[in-house]
Chains A and B, each alone.
Chain A
C-alpha cells in the first residue's frame, strides 16, 4: 500500500487503479480533518468510480487539462468535491500537497468544484445541472464529429431534481450516445434513505423508460466498472447510464452506510478512530 507521499513521486502508470483508489480514499479522509470538514460519505462512495475513470477509462492529460482530445468528466453531485480534488491531484493535475489547503483562505479548493482547479471542466454543486451540461458536450461532439465522450456522475438523491429528467428525455430524444451518466446509488441522502424521502425505485426501469441503455453493477468493483465504462457507448444512438450501487462512506467501516456521514468535521478523537477504521479497511481486514 503506497502512502500519499510516495504517490507524488511515481508516474501514474506504475500504480494500479486499486492503489490509486486507496490513496484517494486516504486523501479524502484527511481533507475532512480540516476545520470546515467535508462531504465525507458521498465522496467515499464515488472513489472507485473516479479512480477507474481517471486511471483507466478517460482520455485525460494532466499536464494539459484543456487538451482538445480529452474526454469530459463532470461531477454533477458537486458536494463530492473532495473526492474529485483528490483524484485530480492523484492523477497529477496539481500537487497532492495542495489538498491540505481544502476550504482554506488563500487556496483555490472551494467546497464545491470550481474552474480555477486544473481538471475541473465546469463548476457544479447546485444539483441537477450536470446532465444538461453533459448533453451540451455530447451535442458538440456530434456536431464536430468527434469521438469525445462526456461522463457525468450524479447522486441518487440528486435525481429528485426535475431538471435531471428534462435532460434525460432530451438526451435520449437527441440520441446523444457520447453521453454517459453514472448514478452514485448509495441509497442515502442528507436526512436518511432516499426511498424514505422521495423514492427512486424502480430506478433502472425509470431510465429505460426514458430511452437510455442501462446497466447496473457494484460501484466498488473496479474491474467491472472499467469494463463497463470503457465500452461506452453500449448502443449506437442511445445515451448510457450506469447505476453504480455504492456505499456511502465506503472505506471507513465505522461510518459506512450511516446517514450522519453525509457531511462531517472530525474532532481529534474521531480522527484517530476514523484513521484506524480506514487503515483496517485498506489493509484488507474489513473489506
Chain B
C-alpha cells in the first residue's frame, strides 16, 4: 500500500503531533547528551514549564529581541557551542534577517534557527504572524541549510543530523498538530528529495506538512481520473537536490509544486530554476499568491481559500492536462468565491 492510504491508516493509530512540539522534546533530549547544545529563546512560550534536566543552565530566555538573539547565538557558536534559537518564521526571516545573513551565514556558524508559525499556520493571527516569505529569503543565503520537515517524526529524525553540519540551519516548523506520514517517510536523509509515490504523467513536489498531505490526497484523486502522478517530498530546500528532482521528473509532462508560502521565491521557484536550466517542462506553482491575507480563518481554512488542497491541486492539474474533472469546481467557504 502506498501514498495517502497508508498515511491515513497510520493517522488512525497515531495522534497528530505539532512539529514544534516534536522539536521541543527532541531538543531537550539532545541537550542531555550533548553539552554543546544551548537553547536560546525569545519568550516564545514553547518551553514554558519544561524540565531541562541536567541542561537547565543551557536554556536561556533572552526576551523579545530577535536581532540580539541571532547575534548572541553567533558569538556562542564561535566558541564551539551549538545554539538553537527559537522564534517565529517571519521574525527570523524578515525582522532579523541581516543578522542571519552576516552573523550566521557569512561566518558559517553552527546555529539552528527553529522557526515556528511557518506558512499560514498562525491562521487567524494574520499577516503580522504569517511566515510566507521565509523560504525565499533563506534559500538565497550562502552556507545556510534550509529544512522543511514534513511531520513530527521527520523533525526528530533530522535534529541529530543537523548537528553533523558545520554551518547554520533554518528549521521551518508548523504551529498546529499535523498528520504523521507513513513510517518509512519519517526517516529522511538530510539533503535528499524523497519519492513518496512513484508515478508517470505528473510529478507533484511538496514541502511542509499540509502541502504533503494535500499532494498525497491529490495523487489519489488524479488516479481516480486516470492520471498517474508521482509525489515527491522536499525536506531540504537548500541545498536543493536537483539531481533527484530531474531523475524523478524524467519524461513526465507536467510538474507541480505545492507549498505553504508565497508563490514567488520558495519551492516553486527552486524547481522553476532547475527545470528552466536543465529540463524545460511545464510547471504549476501552487502556493499563496503575492498578496497579504485579508480573510480571517484558521490554517486549514486559509489553505482552502488559496487552493492549497488536494482538490485545488487536482483541479489545476486536470485543467492543464485538459482532462474533465469528476466533480464540479468547488467554492471557498471563506469568501464564497
Chain A positions within 8 Å of B, measured between CB atoms, are: 115, 121-123, 126, 128-129, 131-141, 143-144, 150, 162-163, 166-167, 169-170, 173-174
Please state if A170 and B72 are interface contacts (CB–CB under 8 Å). yes
Interface residue? B71 (CB, 8 A): yes
Please state if A143 and B58 are interface contacts (CB–CB under 8 Å). yes
Q: Report the separation of the CA atoms of residues A138 and B79 in the bound assembly, to the nearest whole angstrom.
A: 10
B75 CB to closest chain A CB, in angstroms?
2
Please state if A133 and B72 are interface contacts (CB–CB under 8 Å). yes
Near A by CB (< 8 A), chain B positions 20-35 give none
Interface residue? B174 (CB, 8 A): no
- Pairs A–B under 8 Å by Cβ, sample size 21: A121-B78, A126-B98, A132-B74, A132-B75, A133-B71, A133-B75, A133-B78, A135-B75, A136-B75, A136-B83, A139-B60, A139-B72, A139-B76, A140-B76, A143-B57, A143-B76, A150-B75, A162-B67, A163-B68, A167-B71, A170-B72
Please state if B71 and A135 are interface contacts (CB–CB under 8 Å). yes
Interface residue? B38 (CB, 8 A): yes
A148 CB to closest chain B CB, in angstroms?
8
Q: Report the separation of the CA atoms of residues A87 and B78 in the bound assembly, to the nearest whole angstrom.
A: 22
A138 CB contacts on chain B under 8 angstroms? 75
Q: Report the separation of the CA atoms of residues A163 and B71 in the bound assembly, to the nearest whole angstrom.
A: 10
A137: which of B57, B79, B106 is its contact (CB, 8 Å)? Answer: B79
Near A by CB (< 8 A), chain B positions 94-113 give 98-99, 102-103, 106-107
Chain B positions within 8 Å of A, measured between CB atoms, are: 38, 57-58, 60, 62-63, 65, 67-81, 83, 98-99, 102-103, 106-107
Please state if A136 and B72 are interface contacts (CB–CB under 8 Å). yes
B37 CB to closest chain A CB, in angstroms?
11
In the complex where A143-B38, A143-B58 touch, is A123 in contact with B75 (Cβ < 8 A)? no
B77 CB contacts on chain A under 8 angstroms? 136
B103: which of A133, A162, A173 is its contact (CB, 8 Å)? Answer: A133
In the complex where A143-B38, A170-B65 touch, is A122 in contact with B79 (Cβ < 8 A)? no
In the complex where A135-B75, A136-B75, A139-B72 touch, is A166 in contact with B65 (Cβ < 8 A)? yes
In the complex where A132-B103, A144-B79 touch, is A122 in contact with B62 (Cβ < 8 A)? no
Please state if A123 and B67 are interface contacts (CB–CB under 8 Å). no
B106 CB contacts on chain A under 8 angstroms? 123
B62 CB contacts on chain A under 8 angstroms? 170, 174
Q: Report the separation of the CA atoms of residues A132 and B103 in the bound assembly, to the nearest whole angstrom.
A: 10
Extra contacts besides A131-B68, A134-B75 (10): CB < 8 Å: A129-B71, A129-B102, A129-B103, A136-B74, A136-B75, A136-B83, A140-B79, A150-B75, A163-B67, A166-B68
B22 CB to closest chain A CB, in angstroms?
26
Which 6 pairs between the two chains have the least Cβ-Cβ distance? A136-B75, A132-B71, A166-B65, A166-B68, A140-B79, A136-B72
Q: Report the separation of the CA atoms of residues A91 and B332 in the bound assembly, to the nearest whole angstrom.
A: 70
A138 (CB) vs chain B CBs: closest residue = B75
B70 (CB) vs chain A CBs: closest residue = A132
Please state if B81 and A140 are interface contacts (CB–CB under 8 Å). yes
A173 CB contacts on chain B under 8 angstroms? 63
Q: Report the separation of the CA atoms of residues A136 and B77 in the bound assembly, to the nearest whole angstrom.
A: 8
Please state if A140 and B75 are interface contacts (CB–CB under 8 Å). yes
Q: Report the separation of the CA atoms of residues A162 and B78 in the bound assembly, to the nearest whole angstrom.
A: 23
Q: Report the separation of the CA atoms of residues A123 and B57 in the bound assembly, to the nearest whole angstrom.
A: 29
In the complex where A136-B76, A170-B63 touch, is A123 in contact with B102 (Cβ < 8 A)? yes
Please state if B107 and A122 are interface contacts (CB–CB under 8 Å). yes
Q: Report the separation of the CA atoms of residues A163 and B98 in the bound assembly, to the nearest whole angstrom.
A: 11
Please state if A136 and B107 are interface contacts (CB–CB under 8 Å). no
Please state if A115 and B75 are interface contacts (CB–CB under 8 Å). no
In the complex where A123-B107, A126-B98, A129-B71 touch, is A137 in contact with B60 (Cβ < 8 A)? no
Q: Report the separation of the CA atoms of residues A131 and B65 in the bound assembly, to the nearest whole angstrom.
A: 13
B76 (CB) vs chain A CBs: closest residue = A136
B99 CB contacts on chain A under 8 angstroms? 129, 132, 163
A122 CB contacts on chain B under 8 angstroms? 74-75, 78, 103, 107
A163 (CB) vs chain B CBs: closest residue = B67
A174 CB contacts on chain B under 8 angstroms? 60, 62
B290 CB to closest chain A CB, in angstroms?
28
B103 CB contacts on chain A under 8 angstroms? 122, 129, 132-133
Q: Report the separation of the CA atoms of residues A143 and B56 in the bound assembly, to the nearest whole angstrom.
A: 11
Q: Report the separation of the CA atoms of residues A122 and B111 in the bound assembly, to the nearest whole angstrom.
A: 15
Q: Report the separation of the CA atoms of residues A271 and B68 in the bound assembly, to the nearest whole angstrom.
A: 42
A167 CB contacts on chain B under 8 angstroms? 65, 68, 71-72
B109 (CB) vs chain A CBs: closest residue = A122
Most chain B CB within 10 A, of A122, A128, A131, A132, is at: A132
A126 CB contacts on chain B under 8 angstroms? 98, 102
In the complex where A129-B71, A140-B81, A170-B72 touch, is A115 in contact with B58 (Cβ < 8 A)? no
Q: Report the separation of the CA atoms of residues A140 and B82 in the bound assembly, to the nearest whole angstrom.
A: 11
Q: Report the separation of the CA atoms of residues A167 and B66 in the bound assembly, to the nearest whole angstrom.
A: 10
Q: Report the separation of the CA atoms of residues A132 and B70 in the bound assembly, to the nearest whole angstrom.
A: 8
A219 CB to closest chain B CB, in angstroms?
25
A137 CB contacts on chain B under 8 angstroms? 75-76, 78-79
Q: Report the separation of the CA atoms of residues A90 and B76 in the bound assembly, to the nearest whole angstrom.
A: 29
B38 CB contacts on chain A under 8 angstroms? 143
B319 CB to closest chain A CB, in angstroms?
47
A134 CB contacts on chain B under 8 angstroms? 75
B71: which of A136, A141, A144, A150 is its contact (CB, 8 Å)? Answer: A136
B58 CB contacts on chain A under 8 angstroms? 143
